A and B are shown apart, each in its own frame.
Chain A
């Protein structure tokens, strides 16, 4: 009798657990150590008593009543689930079902009289490697007493709801992927190429195979499916095969799998590779002029060209009262998210029919799923990717890093495999911010009104495509900043080299363009004899005006002027106080735009006990998208549903087809809120039916491609965020002492999270402006700054005062008027700092970073 139903099973099972899991497909009892009975994960109730099922023979249970969590009443189940979630009583969760069964047995017996120390003694039968047990006991205590703790002050849109899982994060409890432990798990380490451009003559793996603890070594020959992956172009080899050619320092040649990470890494160093080394192409001008191809399996070093023109630029330059030209060069920088890339892949079943569950911290887990399935040569239905909230990304976790490698090893070995990169490997592997050289020519009238702009830009996109062509497309689109320019001619080329890959990084091309554009505006202001604020005020884009490639701006763009007006009193006060002052104004698209059909979905489920489950398609990476999702659900449902906020669950995994692409382009809150809102409305329309998926969709499918000569007024983006920032430098110390930031976010969904995004961006923007750099050696293409210290990230003591002013000019047609805030925070920063430095010493800056240690103006 199992869960109230009489069953018959084969005699051959070694123990009850095997019968439950393998024959009856009852999987809540976990197999942590069978048949040794030492972990407690497989605990079940037999006639009401808690027993480890891997130590129980079938004869012993014949005729008795076996109950697993599947057979427990739903209300009671959710009481336990809520208490464990609210108390932070679970991390990887593997041990929890067994513990819940044990707790249930005790609570059934003693009720509210159950003492904590007694329960602690009973937990002696259970191993939990994650929690340290305190939270588990707390959760159990709450269940025993019948007082499930509510989450504090969780509310709807516009509230300062504490971040979802914040307490667990603050406690160090919430597991990141490297914190996940699965029984039988092995560890993978990668062997990277020693040369950025070399033909691989041979890969000898025998020494690594013979090393202590090593279970397997895999090379490209072991890949059953496709070798190449990539978000847009499939040009990025998971490993370089013998006969193939490396193209950058992050190329992988072999995977070593061992019992511990220490053994795996030690053995990975023993892989012996014979290279035929070629001269790497590390200079964009060489790449553009040579007939040699930098990157293996590509035909051309030009990755993309983005261009458009409107009006007569030559005439503008001829007639302009002031015409100036300048060349700017920005640097490569590293994301330096705190959590290095980690992946855990857990297979089940056989290679022929089995499946794979991958825990990924990637920014687009549906993309991860599709590419992993390609590499394994199986259908998407056999791979599930579950997002584990990551420890920071900023664009650097869009491309897969080690997901495919961990997945491949687990798939071939049929055991769980985890792969965690070291900091150095993280530096080597993931894509960086593009260095871009930009030639700007600009003209204006005697009154300082812009008349013409020509821009020629070349970006170093490194080896593989990643999203490099889109970064340069965004750079081109944002070339003119938030200003009206009657005549414009822009071209931006992304070039392949053997340098680190250029890809997504918060700001995505807009930062580079607007560092240059703001610099041109300040130079013109000086010629005209007006202030930096005044020239921006005379040229700022306003509703109905034509912008950039010809887009007619909607009413949302009044945010640009609003930000400028908000900053004015601070600008005037700082100047009056004799400070060196610089002003930056910027805009940043939210959403991919450029003709891309952006569709995202969300699911809202209301369970019988009113537990609210929200599933969306976006990666939580610290920005708070999970919090936004639950605030939207509260906003939309609170008048018709009695929401217990402690019973809201936010889930992101590929078991539903909700995702379309990456959590990128400042669009998570905009589109995620739209989809959750739609799902809630679907739920309302369906009478809040319990236990089913209510699906909502949000789409932006009306944008147009950049540079289509047949379209006079393209809508390259549906939505923009706007910001003005003021950098104030003390003339004596020469230090940036304060940054005032006025940001039009449309709607501050959660002011605390919103301010956090902006402050974090300003910090990153000041680093970009002043000190951060991630160069590569021109002779080898290898990065030269391989420690966190050498990156030039500003430390806490170096951060100036930051005043954030939230401006809320709603975006027409966007849910709640949202504009997006993820990236805009560092778009105007470098320009503002450059202007303030010029005010300080009279020197115009053309290169970033502007105060690298050792540089002359330090």
Chain B
């Protein structure tokens, strides 16, 4: 790291509704790195840093993105929501509960990214078809479950929301 990059870059990120000042960051740092290493939000996982696994999925102005592919400094005017910010009351969200109930969690490393992706889906498409569910999470690699339990979890969350639960 050369001296010119290390200096006094300063920017402000809005994460889970809270403004964070990011100081002394190298300007090229990814949003993933800043979330995990500077803001102390380790819920977002890094598994490839290639934008291919979806484990670092976060919401940026409501859109699901791979945090490893977004430069943190370019996210200054955006509302960022991580897995830590999905719940407003500290309790697991409906989607988190259905993941547990359906057995959609094995090693759990891909789970936070999937949870964010599923919230993104259900918030925009309240009654997704099976195909829409599949497409919505096709940016997320899960190596444990084979997706069967995850599909079931999404269906359970969808149905509960539709039933007003």
- Taking the nearest CB of chain B, how far is it from the CB of A359, in angstroms? 14
**Alpha-carbon separation in the docked complex, A212 to B150 (Å):** 44
Cross-chain contact A796 with B142 (CB below 8 angstroms)? yes
With a cutoff of 8 Å between Cβ atoms, the chain B residues found around residue A624 in the complex are 106
Least CB separation from A176: chain B residue: B109
Binary flags per residue of A161-175, CB closer than 8 Å to B gives 1, else 0: 011011101111111
- Residues in A with CB closer than 8 Å to B115 are 170, 172
Q: Does A132 interact with chain B (Cβ within 8 Å)?
A: yes
With A167-B96, A176-B109, A338-B45 as contacts: A796 and B134 at CB distance below 8 Å: yes
Complex partner residue of B141 from A138, A623, A795, CB under 8 angstroms: A795
User: How far, in whole Å, are A263 and B1 apart by their CA atoms in the complex?
Assistant: 7
Residues of A within 8 A of B128 (CB): none
Q: Which candidate, A284-292, A755-763, A810-818, is the interface stretch facing chain B?
A: A755-763
| Cα of A38 to Cα of B141 in the assembled complex, Å | 40
In A373-414, the 8 Å CB interface with B consists of 389-394
**Docked CA distance A132–B87 (Å):** 12
Q: Chain B 37-64 against A: per-residue CB contact (8 Å), 1 yes, 0 no? A: 1001111111111101101000000000
Chain A contacts for B150, CB-based, 8 A? 796
List which A742-760 residues lie within 8 A (CB) of chain B. Answer: 752-753, 755-756, 758-760
Q: Does A545 contact B (CB under 8 A)?
A: no
| Nearest CB in chain A: distance from B48 CB, A | 4
A777 adjacent to chain B (CB < 8 Å): no
Q: Which of A72-80, A668-676, A785-793 contacts B (4 or more CB under 8 A)?
A: A785-793
Tell me whether A336 and B135 are in contact (CB under 8 A).
Answer: no
B54 CB, nearest partner CB in chain A, Å: 10
Q: Of residues 21 to 35 in B, which have CB atoms within 8 Å of A's CB atoms?
A: 26, 29, 33
A171-B83 contact given A166-B100, A755-B103, CB 8 Å threshold? yes
Q: Is A162 within 8 A of B144, CB to CB?
A: no
Which single residue of chain B is at the shortest CB-CB distance from A750? B103
Q: Is the CB of A212 within 8 A of B3?
A: yes
Tell me which residues across on chain A come within 8 A of B147, comparing CB atoms. 759, 763, 796, 799
Name the residue among A91, A174, A338 with the largest chain B CB count within 10 angstroms. A338
Give chain B's interface residue range (CB within 8 Å of chain A).
35 or more
- Distance between A261 CB and nearest chain B CB, rounded to angstroms: 8
Overall SS of chain B's interface: loop
Asked if A788 and B100 make an inter-chain contact with CB atoms under 8 angstroms apart, the answer reads no
* Beta-carbon nearest neighbor of A258 in chain B: B1
Q: How far is the CA of A241 from the CA of B1 in the complex (A)?
A: 27
Known: A391-B109, A788-B52. Is A163-B100 also a contact (CB below 8 A)? yes
> B138: which A residues are within 8 A, CB to CB?
795-798
- Nearest A residue to B103 via CB reads A752
Chain A residues, CB < 8 A from B47: 338-340, 391, 423, 788
Query: Is there contact, CB below 8 Å, between A171 and B149?
Result: no
- Decide yes or no: A169 and B146 within 8 Å by CB, A339-B47, A788-B50 being known contacts: no
Interface contact B143-A764, CB-CB below 8 Å: yes
Contacts A173-B43, A621-B107, A623-B106: A422 and B49 contacting too (C-beta < 8 A)?
yes
Residue of A nearest to B3 (CB): A212
A629 to B97, CA, bound (A): 23
B6: interface (CB < 8 Å): yes
Pairwise interchain contact A759-B146, C-beta atoms closer than 8 A: yes
Chain A residues near B149 (CB-CB < 8 A): 752, 755-756, 759
Count of A interface residues, CB-CB < 8 Å: 72
Q: How far is the CB of A44 from chain B (nearest CB, A)?
A: 25
Q: Is the CB–CB distance between B143 and A336 below 8 Å?
A: yes
Q: Contact between A423 and B43 (Cβ–Cβ < 8 Å)?
A: no
Mask: chain B, 53-77; 1 = CB below 8 Å from A; 0 = not: 1010000000000000000000000
A322 interface contact, C-beta 8 A: no
User: For the complex, is B90 an interface residue (Cβ under 8 Å from A)?
Assistant: yes
Q: A212-B6, A799-B148 are in contact. Are A172 and B43 (CB under 8 A)?
A: yes
A26 within 8 A of B: no
Quick check: A787 and B50 within 8 Å, CB to CB? Answer: yes
B81 contacts A by Cβ under 8 Å: no
User: How long is the Cα–Cα vector from A542 to B130 in the complex, in angstroms?
Assistant: 41
Q: Is B79 interfacial (CB-CB < 8 Å)?
A: no
Is B145 engaged at the interface, CB distance under 8 Å to the other chain? Answer: yes
Residues of B within 8 A of A162 (CB): 100-101
Question: How far is A848 from B40 in the complex, measured between Cα atoms in Å?
Answer: 44
Residues of A within 8 A of B110 (CB): 338, 391
Tell which of A91, A163, A175, A389 has the most Cβ of chain B within 10 Å. A163
CA of A389 to CA of B105, assembled, Å: 13
Minimum CB–CB distance from B79 to chain A (whole Å) comes to: 18
CB distance from B12 to the nearest CB of A (A): 19
Task: Kindly state whether residue A213 has any CB partner on chain B within 8 Å.
Answer: yes
Query: Is A179 interfacial (CB 8 A cutoff)?
Result: yes
| Nearest chain B CB to A839 CB, angstrom units | 23
B45 contacts A170, C-beta separation under 8 Å: no
Is A338 a contact of B107 with CB atoms below 8 Å? Answer: yes
Contact across chains for A266 and B1 when beta carbons are under 8 A apart? yes
Question: B146, A762: Cβ atoms under 8 Å?
Answer: yes
Contact with B along A592-622 (1 / 0, CB 8 A): 0000000000000000000000000000011
CA A172 – CA B110 in complex, angstroms? 9
CA distance A211 to B139 in the complex (A): 37
A163/B103 in contact, CB under 8 A: yes
| Chain B contact residues, CB within 8 Å of chain A | 1-3, 6, 26, 29, 33, 36-37, 40-50, 52-53, 55, 83-84, 87, 90, 92, 96-97, 99-101, 103, 105-112, 115, 131, 134-135, 137-151
Q: Given contacts A170-B92, A262-B1, A752-B149, could you give 18 more A-B pairs where the C-beta distance is less than 8 Å? A: A166-B105, A167-B96, A172-B45, A176-B45, A266-B1, A336-B143, A340-B47, A391-B110, A392-B143, A622-B106, A622-B107, A622-B144, A755-B103, A756-B145, A758-B146, A760-B106, A760-B146, A789-B50
20 A-B pairs with CB atoms under 8 Å apart are A130-B42, A163-B100, A169-B111, A170-B97, A170-B99, A172-B45, A176-B45, A212-B3, A337-B107, A338-B109, A338-B141, A338-B142, A389-B107, A392-B106, A622-B108, A755-B149, A760-B106, A760-B143, A764-B143, A799-B146
Identify the 7 closest CB pairs spanning chains A and B, nearest first.
Answer: A622-B107, A172-B43, A391-B109, A763-B146, A169-B108, A622-B106, A759-B146
